Structures are given as C-alpha cells and as structure tokens.
C-alpha cells in the first residue's frame, strides 16, 4: 500500500483476486497492532462492501487495545471490487450479496425511482442497478469467500484455525443471514446490520421454514436503526419490520441470536453496527 494510504489505514495490505467465476475483487487485509503470526495466530473477520466499508471499519482494529472493553484479536479482511468494477460496486454487490431467487420488492423499486426523481441517479444507472437483481448469485460469492479467498488468507497471514467472523450491512446483512442459514461452518460469529429483507416473500423466510428448529450453532448478531423504523421511507420500514420478524422467529426457537437497535439512519449505521457486532460477539 502507498505511503499515503498507509497513513490512513495502518497495518493494511491490498491485493486483487480473480474468482473462479471470472470476477475481480479487491481485498484489504488489516492486521492487529504488532501482529506476529509466529507467536499468536488470530482469526479472520470478513467485512463486505469493502469499497465503502473499509475506511469506516478497518480503523476499529484498535479496539483490540482498548483498556475499557477489549476485543479479541482478529484480522480484518475487507472484500470489495477491483479495477473498473470498483466504480460500480454499488450495483455489482446486488449480484453477489443477494440470494438466488430473491424477489425484488415493489418498495425497493419505488426507492430507486425516488432516487431518479431527486437526481441521486440517472435512469441509465437505475436500470443497470435493477438489472443486477434479476440474476443473483450469493451462493457463488459465498463459495468464493470460503473456498478461494479464505485459503489464501490462511496461507499468507497465518490465521487461527477457528473463531472466524463475517459482517455485512444492508444487502451485506442479507448475505450474512443467508450465510448463517446455509449452515456454513467457517464462521463462528456473523453480524447482520440492517439486513435487506425487504419483502415478506424473501428467501430468508423460505429458508427459515426449511430448517425448522435445526438452527446453526454460529452466533448471529442482528442490528437495525431507529430512523429506519421511524422514518417515512417504506423500503426501510419494511426492512426493520421483516428483520424483527426474523429475530422473533429465531429467538422463539432458542437460536444463538442477539440484537440491538441503534440511533442511526440506514446510511450512517454501518460503523455503529460493526462496532455493536464486535462488542457483542468478539469481546474478551
């Protein structure tokens, strides 16, 4: 990493990796202060939406030295997009983070149309954004994380054999729920911030019915934001309502699930959600 970026993201390496499916990913690896795998091996925590999230979450690696609430050591692996794809990360994430067959909720389309009316995006950008939701491949992205990226992180950074984590926000939170419900054994804990379960016909609810009381052993921490619930955007109101329904169904079955309501909006909640995950699932 260049000297300029090293000053902003201390102890952070960057590399690019092409998946078996032909997609180029950018990966930022932030190691704990003074990390030496020869003496102490740390597990990895994978953070999604790296192009957006790395600047807000990677600096929190210092929580491992916080004398008031110390977090267990971890290596943060932030995963985003590389090359020309990096400028299109906001729509490419739809392809990778949304479960196959996930319906596109009308409220979500309405939110995109509002973005056009307010000048937040052009019609061309909106069409490209929605097009990525017509054929989604969270299954392929999960396979990339677990069978392609993680072995490289293990090899290059000498990670611990267990204790790994995953954190995602919004559609990344939907991916976190999908990963938890898939029963993947790589992750000991999973954080799902404001998970994008927008419709009542989401694949998440279908999967909940399929697994019944046979819930995964991994810890799941789910957060929502009060301004999503109290605001006037239907897409966020539905998101919080459905997230609460997921939570109630899991706790009723005795799932290893914790939750928190944060005083944030959907846009500002990412860092607070990640910190809530660290404090809840990774505290000493």
- Structural domain harbouring 220: 3-281
Per-residue model confidence (pLDDT) at position 148: 98
Per-residue model confidence (pLDDT) at position 6: 57
Per-residue model confidence (pLDDT) at position 7: 62
Q: Which two tokens stand for residue 184?
A: 């993947």
Q: How many domains does the chain have?
A: 1
Question: DSSP assignment of 50-108, as one string?
Answer: HHHHHHHHGGGGGGGG-SSSPBPP-EEEEEEE-GGGGGGHHHHHHHHHSPTT----HHH
Per-residue model confidence (pLDDT) at position 31: 95
Q: What is the CATH number of the domain that holds 133?
A: 3.40.50.1820
Per-residue model confidence (pLDDT) at position 24: 96
- Whether residue 274 contacts residue 47, with contact meaning beta carbons closer than 8 Å, is answered with yes
Per-residue model confidence (pLDDT) at position 250: 95
pTM: 0.95
N-terminal to C-terminal alpha carbon distance within the chain: 31
> Shortest CA distance to 25 belongs to which of 79, 104, 97, 70?
79
- Whether residue 134 contacts residue 94, with contact meaning beta carbons closer than 8 Å, is answered with no
Angle at 106 between CA 102 and CA 108, to 5 degrees: 75
Give 68's Cβ-side CA count (13 Å radius): 0
CB-based burial, 72-88: b 16+ in 10 Å, e otherwise: bbbbbbbbbbbeebbee
| pLDDT, mean of each 10-residue run, the chain (284 residues) | 63 95 96 88 97 96 91 97 95 97 90 90 90 94 98 96 98 98 96 96 95 94 97 94 96 93 97 98 94
């Amino acid at each position: 990493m260049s000297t300029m970026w090293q000053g902003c993201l201390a102890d952070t390496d960057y590399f690019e990796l092409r998946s078996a499916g032909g997609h180029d990913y950018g990966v930022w690896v932030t190691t704990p202060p003074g990390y030496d795998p020869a003496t102490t091996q740390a597990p990895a925590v994978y953070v999604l939406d790296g192009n957006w999230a790395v600047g807000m979450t990677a600096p929190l690696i210092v929580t491992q030295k916080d004398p008031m609430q110390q977090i267990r050591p971890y290596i943060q692996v932030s995963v985003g997009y590389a090359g020309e794809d990096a400028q299109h990360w906001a729509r490419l994430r739809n392809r990778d983070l949304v479960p196959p067959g996930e319906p596109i909720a009308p409220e979500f389309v309405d939110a995109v149309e509002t973005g056009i009316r307010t000048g937040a995006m052009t019609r061309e950008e909106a069409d490209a954004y929605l097009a990525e939701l017509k054929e989604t491949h969270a299954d392929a992205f999960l396979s990339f994380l677990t069978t392609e990226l993680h072995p490289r992180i293990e090899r290059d950074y000498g990670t611990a054999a267990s204790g790994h984590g995953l954190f995602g926000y919004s559609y990344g939170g939907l991916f976190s729920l999908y990963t938890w419900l898939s029963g993947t054994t790589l992750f000991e804990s999973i954080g799902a911030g404001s998970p994008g379960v927008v419709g009542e016909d989401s694949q998440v609810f279908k999967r909940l019915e399929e697994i019944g009381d046979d819930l995964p052993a991994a810890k799941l921490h789910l957060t929502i934001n009060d301004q999503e619930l109290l605001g006037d955007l239907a897409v966020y109101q539905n998101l919080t309502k459905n997230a609460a329904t997921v939570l109630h169904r899991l706790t009723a079955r005795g799932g290893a699930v914790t939750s928190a309501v944060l005083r944030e909006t959907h846009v500002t909640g990412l860092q607070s959600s990640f910190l809530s995950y660290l404090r809840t699932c990774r505290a000493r």
